[in-house]
Structure 1
Amino acid sequence: MRAPIGNFDDARPAVDCLGLLPPPVADAVRGRRGDVSVEQLIYVDTDPEIADTAVFVEHYGQELLDESANCVVVAGKRGGESTLAACVVLSSTRIDVNGVVRRQLGARKASFASMDTATGETGMEYGGITPIGLPADWPLLVDSAVVDTEWVLIGSGRRRGKLILPGKAFAGLPNAVLVEGLGVGLS
């Protein structure tokens, strides 16, 4: 199988690679419902040593910068209460945590969750967190530009391997909220 984007040697349907995914991601792929069929979720094997965006796109194709998305765990705080959420933006942008995210969560303060919190709560590896298989009660804020992208590369839940899926699939993920302007240009 050839991946629809990028320059990958090993691309397979994600449903055929469940053993390579952490349990919450494998369970979500196995139980996939919605407008996008499970066959459209593609797993590509990648080197975990070059999982960070800048090095990754240099190796697998510069065009992936506009076809990749980052999923980041954030914590919103208000009056002693903390709410965890995930945000998905294109890799060519950054998340507006102190503006858009804070307002969306109705929080007084918002920040990136600590690595221990992000990995402990998701069951995924830091640097590979994906919106597929997140805790069921979390809000998932998705920049509308992600949904408008034909094919999007995201983490697989581990630093080794990535998932590719149609951008429109993000709108159908559990608790997804499309947010215009969630991702802002890099300075």
Structure 2
Amino acid sequence: MTSPLAKAAGPIALVSGVVFAAVDVARLLTADRSLDRIEMMRQVPFIAANALYWVVFIGLVLALVSVYFRLGGRAGGLGAVAFCFALVGTLDMAGNMWFDAFAGPWIADVAPGAILAGGSGMLAVGGLSSYVLFAVGWMVFGIAGWRAHMFPAWIGALFVVAGVLGYNAGLPPYGIPIGLVMAVLGWWIIRTGVPARLTGAP
């Protein structure tokens, strides 16, 4: 029996991807570069956009899971590897974005010197891991997903490019590409009607 998530994978991926990209555009528009970093982090529109960015990461994870439920059965072990790499990278970056959205403004109010000091030690390690794993995760998803026949090569190539750009996804507008490519994948699923657990290339 096909799961409801698998059946709705196309619309979920399309909507999640478009909203993800749109929120990153909002982050770009609300980042007032005329202010210093501390003041910018205290602005309500900037705080709201950052909080929404964490929310849309949840949507990106749900889209990834639904796509895997829809297409993973046709990809075997290689498809599972692609899914796991992308999931780990996205969850790690989502944690980073939660910190920026909810802890960052509080730190800017109570200990602005900590913001200006920059990251070091384990904080720097954690931050770097999220950038690297997010980028590598989506690059592997693109390559392995294409090789495993989860989706066409051109979509795989788009995921690789979005993954490279996604190394800077903590800063707008570098999250936009991964959102747009997820939306394209959703559109492809809807257009082709590719069934769950189909064996063979599209």
The alignment's TM-score, normalised by the length of structure 1, stands at: 0.24
Higher relative contact order (CA 8 A, sep 6+): 2
Structure number with the higher helix fraction is 2
The structure whose Rg is larger is 2
Which has the larger strand fraction?
A: 1
